[in-house]
Amino acid sequence: MALEPVFGIADWVIGIFQTLAIIVLAPLMTGVMRKVKASSQKRVGSSIFQPYYDLLKLMRKDEVISDQSSWIFRFTPWVVFAATATAALFIPAFVSFTPFSIAGDLLLVVGLFGLARFFTMLAGLDVASAFGGLGSSREMMMSALIEPALFITIFAISLTYGGTNVSTIVSSAVDATIASSAGIITPTLIFASISFFIVLMAETGRIPFDNPATHLELTMVHEAMVLEYSGRSLALLEWAQSIKMAILLTLLVNIFAPWGIVSAGQPQQLGSAILIAPLILAGKMLIVAILIAHIETRIAKWRLFRIPDLLAMAMSSSMIGVIFFYL
């Protein structure tokens, strides 16, 4: 079915602006989380803008490449970044739609994340070191189990909001809050939010799934796969990780806490709201980021073979959400 997009220039600008916001704000989230962890451990910690400085530094450094590796190793950082950043295009951040939604929906976002992860796992194997294989094998298991949890959560969300087109989801969510402020607190969404939160922690490699700050073979998963990278490639990979975190945070707050998003159906708000909405978004994301950081300091990384239990909890939670919807 042909769908002629009837979007004006303003819509495209907003779309690109939203994407850039996510991409640019991403390292800030990482920085905030590190700062919160540091202060709860009674340390001063680095400034919240440190990730930006790190990225700049890494971009300028030369790289060392393993002699065992092949073109996959060199290609992966670009693929990972491009895929993750493209995924950001389809997410409406502070306006309830984005014109890119006609090209891709939530499933495409998940697919792009999967593509990135696939190449990362291959890169881990490419360098012929035990660390890489370690990371890849653990990541294989976790990603295999994250998929069903994620899909059933998407199922629950699409049931409630009528689609996997992210614009549709977010605008339905916004309309629901306009109608009644608490209209979105349904059992389905509560369960879906729990499961989405667990999946978020798993996908971005937070404690208890993975420790992003460690380089011990006992505990690292994602870090093990990118251990060999240096210089610009490492910068791209780190940035892509933060972008993924930012995307998932945006989705979490926009779907489950859509207050403050500018609704496309009310163009008169467009003018002033354009300036306030990003701040509201940043605020919500910060709240969740701080929450995540607190959780990370409170609990320890779980043993690898307990993680399926946690993911099974996520799966059953979203499954219950789906069943609740039908009943």
Residues 237-276 that bind other proteins (CB under 8 A): 265
CB neighbour class for 160 (10 Å; exposed up to 12, middle 13-18, buried from 19): buried
Closest CB 45 distance from other proteins, rounded Å = 26
Segment lying near other proteins (by CB under 8 A), choices 44-52, 131-139, 249-257, 276-284:
131-139
204: Cβ contacts below 8 Å, ≥ 6 apart: 241, 244, 245, 248
- Are 120 and 225 within 8 A, CB to CB? yes
Closest CB 313 distance from other proteins, rounded Å = 14
Q: Does 136 sit near other proteins (CB under 8 A)?
A: yes
- Are 85 and 242 within 8 A, CB to CB? no
Closest CB 99 distance from other proteins, rounded Å = 11
Q: Does 218 sit near other proteins (CB under 8 A)?
A: no
Nearer to other proteins, 188 or 211 (CB): 188
Nearer to other proteins, 151 or 302 (CB): 151
For residue 15, give the nearest of 86, 93, 82 by alpha carbon.
93
d(CA 210, CA 321): 27
For residue 126, give the nearest of 222, 204, 226, 223 by alpha carbon.
226
Nearer to other proteins, 76 or 211 (CB): 76
d(CA 51, CA 147): 29
Residues 21-80 that bind other proteins (CB under 8 A): 56, 59-72, 78-79
Residues 96-115 that bind other proteins (CB under 8 A): 100-105, 107-108, 111-112, 114-115
Closest CB 240 distance from other proteins, rounded Å = 10
Q: Does 203 sit near other proteins (CB under 8 A)?
A: no
For residue 230, give the nearest of 59, 69, 51, 28 by alpha carbon.
59
Nearer to other proteins, 5 or 8 (CB): 5
Nearer to other proteins, 265 or 283 (CB): 265
Question: Which x/- pattern, by CB under 8 A, does the window 142-181 give for other proteins?
Answer: -xxxxxx-xxx-xx--xx-xxxxx-xx--xx--x------
CA distances from 281 to 172, 245, 246 (A): 18, 14, 11
Segment lying near other proteins (by CB under 8 A), choices 41-49, 184-192, 229-237, 284-292:
229-237
* Pair of tokens at residue 177: 């809050």
CB burial of 58-68 (b: ≥16 within 10 Å; e: otherwise) equals beeeeeeeeee
Nearer to other proteins, 13 or 291 (CB): 13
Closest CB 150 distance from other proteins, rounded Å = 7
